[in-house]
Amino acid sequence: MRLKDRNAFITGAAQGIGKSIAAGMAREGANVAIADVNPESAEATAKEIQEIGVKSTAIKLDVSSQEDVTKAFSTFTGEFGPLDILVNNAGITRDALLMRMKEEDWDAVININLKGTFLCCKEAIKIMAKQRQGKIISISSVVAFMGNPGQSNYSSSKAGIIGLTKTIAREYAGRGIRANAVAPGFIQTAMTDVLPDAVKDDMKKAIPLASFGTPEDVANAVIFLSSAESDYITGQTIHVNGGMYM
């Protein structure tokens, strides 16, 4: 029970990696808010997690909207009290080669992945700074470090998260706040299920451990960074990618 009675706010937690993080944290004793743009699936996930025996509530949230973010954190503190852990997990892709990338696809990805992370960090830090403790974990990606054809918007948003994380780590270490990132490689979720088999086969060849990761592999790194075991770690990135990038 590494997270007994800790309160966590997890964005994009209705499905995929976020859901796995929420369930993993709940099994370690944390109470978890399932903050997601899709209220029906967030509600279903919160119900599943309640069965683990912790408090879990769905909060409707579009991370790219300042109004939504302010409201969501206020709902959270009203229902849970202190905020111990923020996980910035909500993210989208809108792939196209740079020459064909539409401005709206650039803006959508930057607004949700990067601005959304900024807005949630800002709101969480207001609360955590007063508490003089808190852990922020943001989900980046291997493509922030390697680049990836067709993902100029996505890789830029995920590289931005690394700069944001390091800056927060420096600005708020004195307030007891730790900020770290997790950079997954290829993880089997709805986001990657849509890729053609030929692309998946090529990717597997580039992974020394020769298999794709699971949402639980990412959750394990996030749980470590949320726990007291990582108290002397801030401004860092844990790569969970089977050796794809090293």
Strand 31-36 to 56-60 pairing: parallel
- Token pair recorded at residue 152: 């100029």
- Token pair recorded at residue 243: 């050796």
CB 63 → ligand NAP: shortest distance, Å? 4
Q: Which is nearer to ligand NAP, 173 or 199 (CB)?
A: 199
CB 57 → ligand NAP: shortest distance, Å? 15
Q: Enumerate the active-site residues.
A: 154
CB 82 → ligand NAP: shortest distance, Å? 22
Q: Which is nearer to ligand NAP, 75 or 192 (CB)?
A: 192
Q: Which is nearer to ligand NAP, 133 or 224 (CB)?
A: 224
In SS3 terms, 135-191 reads as: EEEEECCCHHHHCCCCEHHHHHHHHHHHHHHHHHHHHHHHHCEEEEEEEECCECCHH
Report d(CA 130, CA 110) in Å as an integer. Answer: 29
State the residues that interact with ligand NAP by CB under 6 A: 11-12, 14-18, 36-38, 61-64, 89-92, 112, 116, 139, 141, 184, 186-187, 189-192
